Amino acid sequence: MKSIPMLMLLMTIHPTAAGAAGEALTTLESLRWANRIFLVYASAPGADRAVEQLESFAAEIEDRQIAWFVLGDGRVRTNLEGPMDPAFEQHLKSRYFNPEPNGPVVVLIGKDGEVKSRLPDLDLDRLFAQIDSMPMRRQEMRDANRE
């Protein structure tokens, strides 16, 4: 029963949770203050492994309110539902991966929209620990323990 109020809150602030008018995602701006973001840039087969790894940690990712995007092989894969603008991938590449990296890169963006770290691999233990040390996340955990 505790999760129903949280679900209702998420549906009001998360652009895809409530089926937001079918507007295509063009930038990350609409996710600010609602999600932390993982951007993963990798070529095959690294992109496929990243998607598998992220999907296997779905509960931990949902708990931390993470939206993830894996760029590779000419497409973008994500845990968000809803359409993405055809120019979305190019926007992400020009903003976060310019010049184009020679190898894999993982970018963590906080809810405030600022880049918090850039890593050469998808180390979820390290990323989760970094997120869990952030003041906003610590407050979220304290609030969850009060319920």
Beta bridge partners of 67: 37
Domains plus CATH for the chain? 3-146 (3.40.30.10)
Q: What is the pLDDT of residues 58-91, one digit of tens each?
A: 999 999 999 999 999 889 999 999 999 999 999 9
| Pair type for strands 66-72 and 105-109 | unpaired
Residues 6+ apart with CB under 8 A from 3: none
Q: What pTM does this model have? A: 0.84
Give the pLDDT band (50/70/90) at residue 130.
very high
pLDDT of residue 19: 39
